[in-house]
């Protein structure tokens, strides 16, 4: 994949998800976020981007229900500070966020900056990375001497340089700036022939966006739910470093790549979330070590010069990630026996909810949007099942249909067992039957 040297062109021409990886690569490997404090005597601060998310709203072809689709996002290559609504001012507090837009006359789109890390003159990281859209905005506000987003935006709009909110203006106090070729180093992981940055994960990963849920959709047969199910797991988040938030989304992407390409292929297939098959031959938990190794790789050569406290900290981090991934994969397995619509109206997504939702999407054979719309991948039930509350003609997952059938068989067996007495119950309700019942509930 080649990198376009002019991101303005990429912002203006990025019209479909197929172009997201190229633009993400440009931002993560070829550009710095530069903040120039108001005082001319203060040197600019430079940051690398390592976690970004794409939100693209083009109603005819890409009606992403999670996109803000704000009226100012029709522009390309400008800053968009998250707004409370049309003409309602800017979000403040923990709801702040900063996008660089890539919209057009027909679309409203933005790239959310989730993680930045300050670097020194030699390109080394200075201090801790900043994780989270609100905290990124806090860094910008603090560096430029403002307490509120509205005050910062008002100042930028009348800035003497005439930059306005242009994210690529060469004299803007807040801008994206090309990385000098001299910043490349042999110790960096090379991504393109001309630019490189240190990648903690060894590559750029695409995974689902963080914090997506179905809590705003309570009607399980609505078009809104269909759209949310179609877009909730789209791989529109791009990472070059291990995230503090949404680690499970990265684990999911690694798992999908493993199941699609095979552990031994060495392929760098992008994760598209649309063609994964569920395998009953192995438990997903058996892949924990592989997933953890990709998220938290061991150094190629042990660093004997590092203090023991650092090595101990790394071991604790790895153990913590292992626990998180193990639990998450267990939730995914549990979710494969559920129908995606059962998560409609749920609250703030937890690890369990996200895992089971992703599992249900895998169980749906990856074609959620088309299946719920009646386009294939599911099976239409011809009657109504009062015990499960399903209406006739609803498209259901083949896996869910299988699980439901098994549940009915178990329930019927339980009824027979109760008629015949407890002595026969053990033979009817086997351990396998009990597990099937629990998974199907």
Which domain CATH number covers 110? 3.10.300
Question: Are residues 299 and 387 located together in one domain of the fold?
Answer: no
CB atoms within 10 A of CB 33: 24
In this prediction, residue 300 carries a pLDDT of 57
Residue 302 lies in a domain: yes
Question: Are residues 278 and 340 located together in one domain of the fold?
Answer: yes
pTM over 0.85: no
In this prediction, residue 199 carries a pLDDT of 79
Distance of CA 74 to the CA centre of its chain: 23
Question: Between residues 194 and 161, which one has the greater pLDDT?
Answer: 161
Question: Between residues 152 and 218, which one has the greater pLDDT?
Answer: 152
Strands (E), 203-354: 205-207, 237-239
Task: Give residue for tokens 């791009």.
Answer: 238
Cα–Cα distance between 226 and 344 in angstroms, integer?
10
Question: Are residues 155 and 286 located together in one domain of the fold?
Answer: no
Rg (the chain; Cα; Å): 25
Residue 373 lies in a domain: no
In this prediction, residue 374 carries a pLDDT of 27
Question: Are residues 315 and 424 located together in one domain of the fold?
Answer: no
Which of 185-189, 195-199, 301-305 has maximum average pLDDT? 195-199
Distance of CA 335 to the CA centre of its chain: 18
The tokens of 411 are what? 């329930």
Domain total in the chain: 3
Cα–Cα distance between 317 and 350 in angstroms, integer?
20
Residue 212 lies in a domain: no
Residue among 370, 372, 77 at smallest CA distance from 220: 372
Question: Are residues 432 and 303 located together in one domain of the fold?
Answer: no
Cα–Cα distance between 149 and 391 in angstroms, integer?
49
In this prediction, residue 256 carries a pLDDT of 87
Residue 123 lies in a domain: yes
Q: In percent, how much of the chain has pLDDT > 90?
A: 40
Which of 57-61, 196-200, 415-419 has maximum average pLDDT? 57-61
Question: Are residues 284 and 157 located together in one domain of the fold?
Answer: no
Question: Are residues 176 and 57 located together in one domain of the fold?
Answer: yes
Cα–Cα distance between 401 and 353 in angstroms, integer?
21
Whole-angstrom distance between the N-terminal and C-terminal Cα of the chain?
46
> In sequence order, which residues have a C-beta less than 8 Å from that of residue 150 and are 6 or more positions away?
89, 90, 92
Residue 206 lies in a domain: no
> Across residues 410-415, what is the average pLDDT?
44
- Residue 401 belongs to what domain range? 379-440
Question: Are residues 343 and 434 located together in one domain of the fold?
Answer: no
Question: Are residues 88 and 172 located together in one domain of the fold?
Answer: yes
In this prediction, residue 242 carries a pLDDT of 92
pLDDT above 70: residue 310: no
**137-152 per-position pLDDT tens digit:** 999 999 999 999 999 9
Given 308, 330, 364, which residue is the final one in a domain? 364
Question: CA of 258: how far to CAs of 56, 170, 268, 367, 397, in Å?
Answer: 27, 42, 10, 19, 23
> Across residues 86-97, what is the average pLDDT?
86
Question: Are residues 259 and 150 located together in one domain of the fold?
Answer: no
Alpha-carbon torsion angle 316, 318, 320, 321, nearest 10: 160
Query: What integer best gives the mean pLDDT of the chain?
Result: 75
Alpha-carbon torsion angle 255, 261, 267, 270, nearest 10: -60
> Residue 147 gets which letter from DSSP?
S
Residue 217 lies in a domain: no
Question: Are residues 60 and 193 located together in one domain of the fold?
Answer: yes
Given 149, 167, 199, which residue is the final one in a domain? 199
Question: Are residues 181 and 263 located together in one domain of the fold?
Answer: no
Residue 95 lies in a domain: yes
Given 364, 396, 419, which residue is the final one in a domain? 364
> Across residues 13-35, what is the average pLDDT?
91
Residue 211 lies in a domain: no
Cα–Cα distance between 351 and 247 in angstroms, integer?
10
pLDDT band for position 299 (50/70/90)?
A: low
pLDDT above 60: residue 405: no
């Amino acid at each position: 994949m080649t990198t376009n040297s002019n991101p303005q062109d990429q912002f203006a021409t990025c019209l479909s998800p197929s172009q997201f990886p190229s633009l993400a690569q440009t931002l993560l490997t070829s550009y710095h976020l530069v903040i120039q404090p108001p005082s001319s005597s203060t040197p600019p601060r430079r940051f690398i981007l390592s976690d970004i998310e794409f939100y693209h709203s083009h109603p005819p072809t890409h009606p992403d229900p999670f996109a803000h689709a704000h009226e100012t996002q029709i522009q390309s290559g400008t800053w968009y500070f998250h707004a409370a609504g049309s003409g309602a001012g800017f979000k403040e507090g923990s709801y702040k966020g900063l996008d660089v837009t890539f919209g057009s006359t027909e679309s409203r789109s933005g790239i959310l900056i989730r993680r930045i890390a300050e670097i020194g003159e030699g390109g080394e990281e200075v201090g801790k990375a900043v994780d989270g859209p609100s905290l990124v905005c806090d860094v910008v506000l603090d560096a430029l001497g403002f307490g509120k987003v509205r005050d910062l935006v008002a100042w930028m709009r009348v800035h003497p340089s005439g930059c306005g909110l242009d994210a690529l203006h060469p004299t803007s106090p807040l801008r994206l700036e090309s990385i000098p070729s001299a910043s490349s180093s042999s110790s960096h992981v090379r991504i393109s022939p001309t630019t490189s940055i240190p990648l903690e994960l060894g590559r750029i990963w695409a995974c689902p966006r963080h914090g997506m849920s179905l809590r705003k959709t309570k009607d399980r047969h609505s078009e809104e739910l269909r759209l949310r199910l179609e877009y909730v797991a789209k791989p529109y988040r791009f990472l070059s470093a291990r995230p503090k938030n949404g680690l499970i989304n990265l684990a999911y992407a690694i798992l999908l790549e493993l199941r699609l390409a095979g552990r031994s292929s060495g392929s760098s297939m992008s994760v598209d979330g649309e063609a994964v098959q569920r395998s009953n031959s192995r438990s997903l938990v058996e892949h924990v070590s592989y997933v953890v190794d990709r998220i938290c790789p061991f150094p190629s050569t042990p660093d004997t010069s590092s203090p023991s406290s650092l090595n101990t900290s790394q071991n604790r981090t790895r153990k913590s990630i292992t626990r998180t991934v193990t639990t998450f994969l267990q939730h995914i397995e549990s979710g494969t026996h559920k129908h995606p619509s059962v998560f409609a109206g749920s609250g703030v997504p937890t690890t369990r909810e996200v895992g089971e939702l992703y599992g249900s999407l895998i169980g749906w054979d990856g074609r959620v949007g088309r299946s719920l719309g009646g386009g294939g991948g599911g099976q239409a039930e011809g009657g109504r099942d009062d015990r499960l509350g399903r209406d006739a003609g609803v498209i259901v997952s083949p896996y869910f249909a299988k699980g439901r059938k098994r549940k009915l068989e178990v329930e019927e067996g339980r009824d027979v067992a109760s008629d015949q007495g407890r002595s026969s119950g053990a033979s009817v309700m086997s351990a396998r039957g009990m597990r099937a019942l629990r998974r199907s509930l």
